[in-house]
Amino acid sequence: MSGASVLYDVPGPKARARNRVYSVLGALAVLGLIAFAVLRLDAKGQLDPKVWEIFNYAGVRTGIRDGVLTTLQVFAVAAVLSLALGLLLTVARLSDHQPIRWLATGFIELFRAVPLLITIYALWVVLLSNRDALGLTGSQPQFWALVAGLTVYNGSVQAEVLRAGINAVPKGQREAAYALGMSKTQVMTTVLLPQAIRAMLPTIISQLVVTLKDTSLGYIITFEELLYTARLMSTNIIVNGNDTYIPVIIVIGSIYVAMCLALSALANWIERRGRRARTGIEVAPAAEPVAAADAAEGAAAPAGTKD
């Protein structure tokens, strides 16, 4: 919106005519792309009604439903655990004891730097080879490797987000709390954390969107979540001598996009609500933090009360 107004004025008659021409050309180009895709799909027989009829079968539907449920299950467990770990790491990182601070910093830096897939894979190998000792059966090693991997990575990121939030709380709050005779724990739990969490809630939820998307890494360690189920179905169901990757992927993709959009919408709604309140603490933007460093910097910058 504001980006647009920077670049051009309210168009006059000539510009309007020109823009109309561009609009038509642009629309034609976009439509052309879509038409090309549709034609290619048609040429490969992917638009045959028979191909799409697979979604009428109860087996396919239950497969997708179970996949969604497993994905949501992993997400729920990983989300709760990562938030708990994030809280713990934040407190540890702000601790007065140097060894604890170092340990927490090392943990956060290590797991943020390593690709999540590699962490999950290493955990999977460890869990699989100790399967009997740990009493894990069936697909439990995959489940816990995925959950643990998501937890350590997103917990580290959430810790950085929370730390930025705590740094954004005006210094006077902490000083006033100590002046009232509160203990360190009380200052943290009743003064700093509630305000930090409130200010950072949009970013925290946006990071949960990342967590939700990353559950699909379970595919690679053969955990039967939504994507893996989809892969299995599309190779197993053969229509007209073709596998059914395209229709299944289109449906699964829409489900993922819908789930993530719902979560992002929540983050945006909270951001808007937060802006209405006048707490003096800047509410973090709901934009998805690409990397954790980004989240910390971006959040701390507008508040400008780093100490």
Partner 1 sequence: MNVLLDYLPEFRDGFLGTLAITASAALLALVLGVLIAGFRVSPVPPLRAFGTAWVTVLRNTPLTLLFLVAFFVVPQILFQGASPYVLGTLALGFYTSSFVCEAVRSGITTVPLGQAEAARSLGMTFSQTLRLIVLPQAARTVIPPLSSIIIALTKNSAIAGAFGYGELFNVSKLLNDRGYPIAWIFLWTALAYLVITFAVSGLFRLLERRLEVAR
Look up residue 14 and give its amino acid. K
Footprint of partner 1 on 126-145 (CB under 8 A): 126
User: Judged by CB under 8 A, which of 79, 116, 146, 300 binds partner 1?
Assistant: 116
Backbone angles phi, psi at 47, to 5 degrees: -100, 5
Closest residue by Cα to residue 227 from 208, 247, 248: 248
Footprint of partner 1 on 158-217 (CB under 8 A): 209, 213-217
CA distance 180 to 87: 25
Nearest CB to partner 1, comparing residues 44 and 171: 44
Q: How many CB atoms lie within 10 A of CB 111?
A: 20
CA distance 161 to 183: 24
Binding piece for partner 1, criterion CB under 8 A, among 60-68, 109-117, 183-191, 268-276: 109-117
User: Judged by CB under 8 A, which of 85, 150, 252, 284 binds partner 1?
Assistant: 252
Four-point Cα dihedral 71, 75, 81, 87, nearest 10: 160
Nearest CB to partner 1, comparing residues 79 and 230: 230
Footprint of partner 1 on 11-70 (CB under 8 A): 11, 15, 19, 22-23, 26-27, 29-30, 37, 40-41, 43-44, 46
Shortest reach from residue 234's CB to partner 1, in Å: 8
Q: How many CA atoms lie within 13 A of 22 on its CB side?
A: 6
Shortest reach from residue 30's CB to partner 1, in Å: 5
Binding piece for partner 1, criterion CB under 8 A, among 100-108, 115-123, 183-191, 276-284: 115-123
Nearest CB to partner 1, comparing residues 81 and 114: 114
Question: Does residue 292 contact residue 157 with C-beta atoms inside 8 Å?
Answer: yes
Binding piece for partner 1, criterion CB under 8 A, among 95-103, 176-184, 185-193, 283-291: 283-291
Interface with partner 1 includes 251 (CB under 8 A)? no
**Burial zone of 48 (CB within 10 Å; 0-12 exposed, 13-18 middle, 19+ buried):** middle
User: Judged by CB under 8 A, which of 32, 106, 115, 172 binds partner 1?
Assistant: 115
* Helix, strand, or coil (residue 88): helix
CA distance 248 to 238: 12
Task: Name the DSSP letter for residue 304.
Answer: -
User: Judged by CB under 8 A, which of 72, 77, 103, 121 binds partner 1?
Assistant: 121
Residue-level length of the chain: 307
Interface with partner 1 includes 88 (CB under 8 A)? no
* Helix, strand, or coil (residue 275): helix
Q: How many CB atoms lie within 10 A of CB 279?
A: 12
Look up residue 220 and give its amino acid. I
Interface with partner 1 includes 220 (CB under 8 A)? yes
Question: Does residue 136 contact residue 148 with C-beta atoms inside 8 Å?
Answer: no
Shortest reach from residue 191's CB to partner 1, in Å: 31
Give residues in contact with partner 1 (CB under 8 A).
2-9, 11, 15, 19, 22-23, 26-27, 29-30, 37, 40-41, 43-44, 46, 110, 113-119, 121-122, 125-126, 209, 213-217, 219-220, 227, 230-231, 234, 243, 245-246, 249, 252-253, 256-257, 260-261, 264, 287-288, 290-291, 293-294, 297-298
